[in-house]
Amino acid sequence: MTAKTPEQITNDLLRPLSGISARYVFWAALLAGIAVAALCAFLYQVYSGLGVSGLRSPVFWGFYITNFVFWIGLSHAGTLISAILRLANATWRRPVTRCAEVITVFALSIGATFPIIHLGRPWLAFFLFPYPSERGLWPNIRSPLLWDFFAINTYLISSVTFLLLPMVPDFALVRDRAAGWKKKIYSALALGWTGTPKQWHRLETAMHIMAIAVIPVAVSVHSIVSWDFAMAPVPMWHSTIFAPYFVAGAIFSGIAALILAMALLRKLLHLEEYLLPIHFENLGKLLLVMSLLWFYFVFAERLTTWYGNEPSEMAVFWVTQHGSYAPLFWAMVSCNFLIPFPLLAIKKLRTITGTAIASFTVVIGMWLERFLIIVPSLSHKYLPYRWGTYRPTWVEITITAGTFCTMVLLYMIFSKIVPVISVWELKAGRHEEPHALRLARQPDQVEAD
């Protein structure tokens, strides 16, 4: 295959923006239907009270907080990974970054709604905001929940701008090819971009600065989410390992989500010539490293707890090892390590299908991990007379299913509005590293040359 001209690249990447197929409408309607069902379930909960959920003493954190931690973790797919690859100047990143950054913005937005859903009385969410008021409420700066407010909002604002800024030149491309009302909308979005050297330099400098800023912010976000737990003297929570353990888990689930999204986009939008096997191969290697790191953290945490033999911690330890939560625990270990490890470690299996299967199991496994961190500790906290159980109701299950569908739906809508691969970045990479790209497409031929 010969190298594509700039015009071919533009045409290929802007093609998904034109036209909507019947299959697209069917899936969008189905996902929207489930999302609406979730909204109805939420409104039912608002009307009836939090009692319609399965949250009972002693387990007051269940599916909602599990989803909160899961989605915030998943949001590390994008901005963090994209920023690291940008700073490392990894040329293969170019078709990947926007797919990744979009996940961050949507996952973070979905994750941030869960504390509000969990409030029961969401109209009082502003009580969390840290400003002196006449309400007589003390905005407690020592509460990790308040740190969440700052960290998540900082990360959300940074991620949105990190996503939007490099989209401006692509909006200009679409503007110049569109007509009618579309032209008006894209003209507004393009902000009058003309592509002068000054604009390119400033954009690249801004992206570089933001990449530097966003990495520590991303690390801080999931550290702070972990401190929601680690600052409480609850068995198996009050641990210094929690912050790095959560950050590693977040990156792990984030990469898995990114691979899944890329595999679907490649297939559905016919981007086979841009999302190449080498992208899945490289991300698969990263996923393998994170799988090993995740296993290391789980082992270190479990070993330390077992050696400490502290009675309240051991109660939680055993209930997950071979008690009522053991099936979920071992499913988690299988999904996060036993299944993905061979798929990612053996080169022959590290194909697009192999990495997609591994990623799918990792996403499931990481959701289970969040659940297993939260619920067993609360249901087996200290003295046995306080122990209890947790069973999610249809309301929680519907809301959870709805958020997954909302995520996919948002991604589908996005792919019809904005090129999911950054056109200008791909073109810029074309004349920077022609050899590397040719090698990615035809390794044998290039080496023979």
Partner 1 sequence: MPIPGAIYGLFSDPSSAERGMDALSRAGIRPDRIVVMSAEPFDEYSFSKMDEATPMPWLAAIGGIVGGTCGFLLARLTQEGYPFPLITGGMPLLAAWPTGIVTYELTMLGAVLTTVVTLLITTRLPNWKPKLYDPEVANGKILIGVLEPSDATRTEIEGRLLAAGAEQVKTTVGDVAS
Q: Which stretch binds partner 1 (CB under 8 A): 44-52, 138-146, 275-283, 401-409?
A: 138-146
411-430 footprint of partner 1 as x/- string (CB under 8 A): -------------x--xx--
Minimum distance from CB of 211 to partner 1 (Å)? 11
195 vs 342, beta carbon nearer partner 1: 195
User: CA-to-CA distance for 310 and 235, rounded, in angstroms?
Assistant: 9
Contacts 24+ apart (CB under 8 A), 411-414: 411/102, 411/103, 411/106, 411/261, 412/24, 412/27, 412/28, 412/31, 413/28, 414/102, 414/106
Q: Is 157 in the site for partner 1 (CB under 8 A)?
A: yes
184 vs 347, beta carbon nearer partner 1: 184
CB-side neighbour CA atoms (13 Å) of 318: 6
Peptide bond into 58 cis (omega under 30): yes
Q: Report, in this order, helix, strand and coil percent for the chain, each rounded to 5.
A: 80, 0, 20
Q: Is 238 in the site for partner 1 (CB under 8 A)?
A: no
The region that residue 55 occupies, defined by phi over 0 for left and psi between -120 and 50 for alpha, beta otherwise, is beta
User: CA-to-CA distance for 139 and 127, rounded, in angstroms?
Assistant: 8
Q: Is 318 in the site for partner 1 (CB under 8 A)?
A: no
Indicate which single residue of 28, 165, 333, 401 sits in contact with partner 1 (rule: CB under 8 A). 165
Q: Is 386 in the site for partner 1 (CB under 8 A)?
A: no
Indicate which single residue of 37, 204, 351, 382 sits in contact with partner 1 (rule: CB under 8 A). 204
200 vs 341, beta carbon nearer partner 1: 200
User: CA-to-CA distance for 44 and 38, rounded, in angstroms?
Assistant: 10
The region that residue 136 occupies, defined by phi over 0 for left and psi between -120 and 50 for alpha, beta otherwise, is left
6 vs 308, beta carbon nearer partner 1: 6
- Kindly determine how many residues on this chain lie close enough to bind partner 1 according to the rule CB under 8 A: 60
Indicate which single residue of 21, 22, 23, 134 sits in contact with partner 1 (rule: CB under 8 A). 134
User: CA-to-CA distance for 335 and 196, rounded, in angstroms?
Assistant: 49
Binding site for partner 1 (CB under 8 A): 5-7, 10, 130-132, 134, 138-139, 141-142, 146-147, 150-151, 153-154, 157-158, 161, 165, 168-169, 172-173, 175-177, 187-188, 191-206, 209-210, 213-214, 216-217, 220, 224, 424, 427-428, 431-432
